[in-house]
Each structure stands twice: as C-alpha cells, then as structure tokens.
C-alpha cells in the first residue's frame, strides 16, 4: 500500500467527524424510542438511509437518485 498523498489524511478528518456525528445521532434516535428509527443523511453529495436493526447493528443503505 502506498503512502497517502500530502493533505489526504487531513482531508479525511472532517468526513470522519461528520460520519461519527451521524452515527451518534442515529444511535440516539434509536435508543430513545423516537418517532422515527431511521435517519436520512447526505454524505459527499449522496443520500443514505441510516438505521439500527433489532440486534443493535447500524446499517446505511444508499437511496437511488430519481
């Protein structure tokens, strides 16, 4: 595996932070018996449906473009 391009790792940090925040929101929504057990998120311009199943596993399914 080659070394990352200069600035590549720094560019990934905001995305990782965004994904971590979305996961935390998804867990919080599922844990608190909220109205909806799913979260619609936009990651890098693509839409996903994120939810936690009955076994506590988090899933993220892409939403097809219209």
The tens place of each residue's pLDDT in the chain, 66 residues long, gives 556 565 555 555 667 777 787 777 777 765 555 455 788 888 888 899 988 877 778 888 999 877
Which one, of 5, 48, 4, lies nearest residue 23 by Cα?
48
Q: Which residue reads 């990651």 in tokens?
A: 43
What pLDDT is attached to residue 10? 58
> How many angstroms separate the CA atoms of 21 and 27, rounded?
10
The domain locations on the chain are: 8-62
> How many angstroms separate the CA atoms of 30 and 9, rounded?
31
What pLDDT is attached to residue 43? 85
| Cβ neighbours for 44, distance < 8 A, ≥ 6 positions apart | 15
What pLDDT is attached to residue 15? 72
What pLDDT is attached to residue 51? 86
């Amino acid at each position: 595996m080659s070394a990352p391009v200069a600035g590549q790792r720094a560019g990934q940090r905001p995305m990782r932070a965004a994904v971590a925040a979305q996961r935390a929101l998804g867990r919080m929504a599922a844990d608190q018996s909220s109205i909806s057990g799913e979260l619609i998120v936009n990651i890098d311009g693509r839409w996903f449906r994120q939810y936690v199943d009955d076994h506590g596993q988090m899933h993220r399914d892409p939403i097809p473009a219209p």
